[in-house]
Structure 1
Amino acid sequence: MQLNTIKPAEGATHYARRVGRGIGSGLGKTCGRGHKGQKSRKGGFHKVGFEGGQMPLQRRLPKRGFRSVTAKFNDEITLSQLNNLPVSEVDLLALKQAQIISQNAKVVKVIGTGQIERAVQLGAGIKATASAKVAIEAAGGKLSD
């Protein structure tokens, strides 16, 4: 194969539409543009969603809702879930193997719900709220920062 012998796949290309070349071509006279109006003229362009000056639909309807792009990568666990884990060094892999967080979680936050009675060491990528941090350190645990 050489650069000068490469051709598109069979059926991938189409003939260019030659308009305004007589009645027999099927695209003579108005050239497939119909009669009159902005779209029949040269340069007859308007923006997507333009409704001739009427307030467009996307502006008539109220704005509603918000969906975070990063929400699927965030997860949270409670102190009681942390207390029930069989390991003392908690990282993302341990939480995923215990099926406490989702497999595509990248950031985990410990919230201060429940009790913790044993010392745990939190690994990288695991944050804690202020109340959870106090509870973990009171039980003899440690947070990595």
Structure 2
Amino acid sequence: MGLNTLAPAPGSRKPRKRVGRGEGSGLGKTSGRGQKGYGSRSGAKDRARFEGGQMPIHMRMRKLRGPTKKMSMPFEPFRTHTQPVNVQDLEARFESGAEVTVEALVAAGLGTRKGVPIKILAKGEITKPLTVHAHKFSASAREAIEGAGGTVVVVE
């Protein structure tokens, strides 16, 4: 294969539409614009958001303003983000008496999002005594880990 053999896929390239070149072309006289109306006039705006005079969707939709509103901004500057890890996952992946650090969680395939704090949640059951290091713990997860004979260490 060389550069001289490259060609676009069949049907992907069409010749440009030459309007106003006689009736035989199929695009003569009104040049595909129809008879009358706004779209037939010169200078008619064919915007992507224009809906024929109907109130456009970007104006019909509700506005959610203010940085602290739950769904207001796409960036949500005041929301705290954590990645959840459940105690049932700790039960499944770690041996009894293991030291569960943040690095160990990442190595086990839990808490893989870089730079996002890990929070241990209480879904499922835990029976093994583990020493768990994480950024945050729910109250019930802390209770479950300590109830199984383990210890909880909050990482700063």
Question: Counterparts in 2 of 1:50-129, with a 5 A limit?
Answer: 50-60=50-60, 62=62, 74-78=83-87, 82=90, 85-86=94-95, 88-90=98-100, 91-94=105-108, 96=109, 105-106=112-113, 108-111=118-121, 118-122=129-133, 126-129=134-137
Give 1:27 shift.
0.6
Higher relative contact order (CA 8 A, sep 6+): 1
Q: Which residue of structure 1 aligns with residue 19 of structure 2?
A: 19
**2:136 corresponds to which letter in structure 1?**
A
Q: Which residue of structure 2 aligns with residue 8 of structure 1?
A: 7
Give 1:9 shift.
2.3
Give 1:127 shift.
2.6
The runs of 5 or more residues in structure 2 that have no matched partner are 65-69, 76-81
Question: C-alpha separation between the residues in 2 aligned to 1:10 and 1:134?
Answer: 60
Question: C-alpha separation between the residues in 1 aligned to 2:119 and 2:50?
Answer: 46
**Taking structure 1 as the reference length, what is the TM-score of the superposition?**
0.55
Give 1:24 shift.
0.9
Question: C-alpha separation between the residues in 1 aligned to 2:57 and 2:132?
Answer: 54
Q: Which moved further from structure 2: 110-119 or 83-92?
A: 110-119
**Number of residue pairs the alignment of both structures matches:** 128
Once superposed, what is the RMSD of the aligned Cα atoms? 4.4
Identity %: 29
**1:77 corresponds to which letter in structure 2?**
N
Q: Any conservation in 2 of the 1:120–1:140 contact (CA below 8 Å)?
A: yes
The runs of 5 or more residues in structure 1 that have no matched partner are none
